[in-house]
Amino acid sequence: MAMIAFEAVTKTYGIPGSRRPTLDAVDVQIGPGEFVLLTGPSGSGKTTMLRLILALERPDSGTVFVGGRDVHRLTSGSMPFLRRNFGVVYQDLGLVPEVSVRENVRWAVEVQELKRRVVRARTQVALELLQLAEVAELPVGSLSSDIQQRVAIARALAGEPAVVLADEPTSALDGHYAHLVLDLLARLASRGTTVVLASRSPLVTGYARAGRVLQLRDGTLRPTARTVIHEFNSVRDFGPIAGASDATGASE
């Protein structure tokens, strides 16, 4: 069964009489553990696709499935549970500038109601993977845009989600950190996390370890050729988060 599926999904924007489809009867299936790069020019519908997966928008027609369930038929009570299974990197990052890097990451894990030691462990691992340990106690708002982007990525990954949706997650990063992030996402996918990364960057869309590159253009989604680059291999190998096997409850 596909982890994410679009069946004849159409979404239009614009004023009545001049509407045009951003997505025009899009069909696609993305399997568990697949790493998909979604590319296309600005305004082509990449962000719209991610928002439809999260049920932040509704299609004009067609159906979006996550884990076999129509996300737009879920009850309001089911929606928080669904979204806890997602790690999301938004273009606007959505960080809380007044609090520390560590707190921004930790809050994303706390909502899962895990034991405190598990929350601490997952937070620390995410900080180390994104090379943020040295700034962990500083307020996010005092840091540069590239560090803030890494904080947003660490926050998305710390909860060990089943699905990662990332919208231009490397736009503020130099080559070193962009490759670090791509390698990390590839390794997560190899362990079963479904990754959908939307980007216009040639560096991203040429990434060697991604499974598929899909291009959005004129409302349609199609496979595309790419010039393959070499992965950076800058991420240390990582095992299960400490304490993950005993994760229930909020004690300790």
Structure confidence by residue, pLDDT tens digits, 15-69:
666 667 789 999 999 999 999 999 988 888 899 999 999 989 999 999 999 988 8
**What share of the chain in percent tops pLDDT 70?**
86
Report which DSSP code applies to 179: H
Ramachandran quadrant class, 43 (left: phi over 0; alpha: psi -120 to 50; beta: rest)? left
SS (H, E, C) 200-248: CCHHHHCECCCCEEEEEECCEEEECCCCCECCCCCCCCCCCCCCHHHCE
Give the closest residue to 54 by CA, choosing from 198, 228, 216, 212.
Answer: 198
CB of 130 closer than 8 Å to CB of 149: no
Measured distance CA(55)–CA(138) in Å, rounded: 33
Q: pLDDT tens digit string along 217-252?
A: 888 888 765 544 444 444 444 444 433 434 444 444
CA angle 112, 115, 118 (to 5 degrees): 90
Q: Residue 219: its pLDDT value, please?
A: 85
**Per-residue pLDDT for 136 more than 90?**
yes
User: Which of 27, 28, 30 has its CA nearest to residue 8?
Assistant: 27
Better-scored residue on pLDDT, 175 or 237: 175
Give the whole-angstrom CA distance, residue 225 versus residue 182: 19
- At the topology level of CATH, where does 32-44+75-235 sit? Rossmann fold (3.40.50)
Answer for the pair 60, 233: CB distance below 8 angstroms, yes or no.
no
Percent residues over pLDDT 90 in the chain: 51
3-state helix/strand/coil string of 44-104: CCHHHHHHHHCCCCCCCEEEEEECCEEHHHCCCCCHHHHHHCEEEECCCCCCCCCCEHHHH
pTM above 0.95, yes or no: no
On the question of pLDDT at 203 being above 90, the answer is no
- What type of residue sits at position 155? R
Run of H or E residues at 195: strand 194-198
pLDDT at 243: 37
